[in-house]
């Protein structure tokens, strides 16, 4: 999984302005299996966002929700997702190796949590007062 994430991180950084669909196509064309590519698009930005905001005092849930095709939601622990665990470990290792902040930000900035934190900061909120709700992802057509 580490080599897959390394490849994905390179694609993310080379495609900073790409929409998720374009990013997905690039990941799959590089040989990454479709469901793994989807999880990388969901979880890599979250992992990098949380890494960057770790010392800010902002609180993040340890779960996410998936909107299912029948209109209900499934809640799962992030730690139950192998791609999440690998993404977090990879992001931490990059930070420890001194990867430039701009390269970390290139991935974190794709996160809905990052956008929400940025918008709240622009409106005068303080990160140490923020507690985020679980991220909701679209249905993948089946239970994950």
Q: What is the pLDDT along the chain (144 residues), one digit of tens a residue?
A: 999 999 999 999 999 999 999 999 999 999 999 999 999 999 999 999 999 999 999 999 999 999 998 989 999 999 999 999 999 999 999 999 999 999 999 999 999 999 999 998 898 888 888 899 999 998 764 333
- Specify whether the CB–CB gap between 141 and 69 falls below 8 A: yes
- Specify whether the CB–CB gap between 144 and 79 falls below 8 A: no
Q: How many domains does the structure of the chain reveal?
A: 1
Give domain status of residue 23, yes or no: yes
How remote is the C-alpha of 116 from its chain's centroid? Answer: 13
Give domain status of residue 49, yes or no: yes
Give domain status of residue 85, yes or no: yes
- Of 131, 109, 133, 114, the closest CA to residue 57 belongs to 131
**Number of residues written out for the chain:** 144
Give domain status of residue 142, yes or no: no
Sheet holding 63-67, edge to edge: 73-77, 63-67, 136-137
What is the span of the domain harbouring residue 70? 2-137
């Amino acid at each position: 999984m580490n080599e897959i994430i390394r490849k994905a991180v390179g694609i993310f950084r080379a495609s900073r302005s790409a929409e998720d669909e374009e990013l997905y196509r690039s990941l799959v064309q590089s040989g990454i299996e479709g469901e793994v590519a989807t999880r990388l698009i969901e979880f890599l930005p979250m992992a990098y966002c949380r890494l960057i905001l770790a010392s800010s005092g902002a609180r993040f849930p340890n779960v996410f929700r998936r909107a299912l095709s029948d209109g209900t939601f499934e809640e799962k622990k992030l730690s139950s997702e192998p791609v999440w665990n690998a993404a977090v470990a990879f992001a931490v290792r990059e930070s420890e190796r001194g990867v430039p902040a701009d390269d970390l930000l290139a991935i974190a900035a794709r996160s809905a949590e990052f956008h929400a934190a940025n918008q709240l900061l622009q409106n005068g909120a303080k990160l140490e007062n923020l507690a985020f709700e679980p991220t909701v992802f679209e249905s993948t057509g089946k239970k994950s």
